[in-house]
Amino acid sequence: MPAARVVVLDHGSGNVRSVVRALEAAGARVELTADREAALTADGLVVPGVGAFAATLEQIQSVGGDRLIERRLAGGRPVLGICVGLQVMFDAGDEHGERTRGLAQWPGEVTRLEADVVPHMGWNTVEVAEGSTLFEGLAEERFYFVHSYAARRWEMEQIGSLLAPRVTWSEHGGDRFIAAVENGALTATQFHPEKSGEAGARLLANWLRTLPRYNAEETA
């Protein structure tokens, strides 16, 4: 099978070069761009994000990333969000008392962690969802987190016979929060796979193996 073609959305977020290198090391052909056609026709789109919810959302919207994500998901084309790239998929984020509407792919709100030490920075274990493809062979591994806010409840109900989303959790200072979601074409992690060493590399390889291979000449 040919290597997956992956676009890392270039919306001005920091640390994107490390995401590109990690995906390349996992076996993908990677392009860092905000080009609409490239983002829509790639086998996978990665949406990184660091810093504040509102600022990241504004950056994504400034390059039309919100529309690209919506179009890809409507067509069943995979998207992977990382860190704040997970958070903006929820209905809203509440930072310093200011509520910002998110991309509303999932119901719920991102709020400040309730722990004695914030931010949550460093390696942590996760409680892997049953049947997870993303974490196959990785249930006992640790991943690298850097965040002060998180989605701390999962509010999406299963609809009919559709496969229920797989939600992986973690905990910091007694506060339980969502560490990753696998929901059809939309996957996201609160932690940074690109900073998580061998475990992160294997997780990215697991995601790449789920990607359908599309014809680059398909019209978007």
Catalytic residues: 83, 192, 194
- Rounded to whole angstroms, how far apart are CA atoms 92 and 175? 19
End-to-end, the C-alpha distance of the chain in Å comes to: 23
205: Cβ–Cβ under 8 A, 6 or more apart, which residues? 26, 27
Contact yes or no for 125/100 (Cβ under 8 A): no
Compute the C-alpha angle 45/34/98, nearest 5°.
85
For residue 36, count other CB atoms closer than 10 A to its CB.
15
Nearest to residue 191, comparing CAs of 181, 155, 130, 129?
181
Angle between helices 65-74 and 53-62 (to 10 degrees): 80
| Phi, psi (degrees; rounded to nearest 5) at 168 | -105, 140
- Rounded to whole angstroms, how far apart are CA atoms 27 and 210? 13
Nearest to residue 214, comparing CAs of 2, 10, 25?
2
131: Cβ–Cβ under 8 A, 6 or more apart, which residues? 166
